[in-house]
Amino acid sequence: MTADLHPKAVIFDCDGVLLDSEYQVYDALMHVLTPMGVHVEAEIANQFHGTAPPLIESVCNLIGVPVTPTMMQAYRERRRWQLENHLETIPHAQTLVESLAVPKAVASGSPMERLQLTLKPTGFWNHFTPHIYSGFDQPNGKPAPDVYLHAARQIGTLPEHCLVIEDSANGVKAGVAADMTVWGFVGGKHCDDTHGDMLRDAGAVAVFETMPDIHAAIRTRLPHLLKEGA
């Protein structure tokens, strides 16, 4: 990976970085599996965050439980209900986004329908549009670099000049594979004490617990990314 000390753009993952939504997806998973007598620890589910297949499909393939159409429908309905009724933003994420003076984008492993469902009511859609991209629209999802490379092309910035903010190991690997500098974020409710080490092992060059920590690091190390006085 080329660690660019003077990046010219910032690319954000969505779930777990802008929105505290990964634990709600886990809730939807357990809503389906618990009545079947199946319990999956959160750390097992965490390894699949950021990838293109639905979480229930990846987890059930791992534990050997067939996914029926009824299970998939129940999972999607519960997930949508959670996101419509209990969605939270990551504290101070919007302040960081608004402070940036350089091109920015969202590059997510979620489908565009879900991005519209979550980013529009929380106000992030207007901050990023039209540069909101889904890995479902690319040949390969994370940990492949496709969605990050596509985002860089669309904002007119070379990959090696992009700073990525990611919360999942698969997302970090995608940013690294795209030759971008990746910072890890562990401020979501789904993150435990081992999450930071997992992101470092995947290639994150720094890991932060809060958005103000990231903001302060940018202000100190990369002030050219910020608006004057931000």
Q: What does pTM read for this prediction?
A: 0.89
Confidence of residue 26 (pLDDT cuts 50, 70, 90): confident
**pLDDT above 70: residue 3:** no
Domain range 9-20+88-225, CATH architecture:
3-Layer(aba) Sandwich (3.40)
Q: What is the mean pLDDT of the chain?
A: 92
Name the residue ranges covered by the structural domains of the chain. 9-20+88-225, 22-85
Mapping DSSP onto H, E and C, the string for the chain reads CCCCCCCCEEEECCECCCECCHHHHHHHHHHHHHHHCCCCCHHHHHCCCCCCCCHHHHHHHHHCCCCCHHHHHHHHHHHHHHHHHCCCECCCHHHHHHHECCCEEEEECCCHHHHHHHHHHHCHHHHHCCCEEEHHHCCCCCCCCHHHHHHHHHHCCCHHHEEEEECCHHHHHHHHHCCCEEEEECCCCCCCCCHHHHHHHHCCCEEECCHHHHHHHHHHHCHHHECCCC
**pLDDT for 1:** 40
Could you read off the pLDDT of 137-154 as tens digits, one per residue?
999 999 999 999 999 999
Residue 2 confidence class, pLDDT cut points 50, 70, 90: very low
pLDDT bucket at 45, cuts 50 / 70 / 90: confident
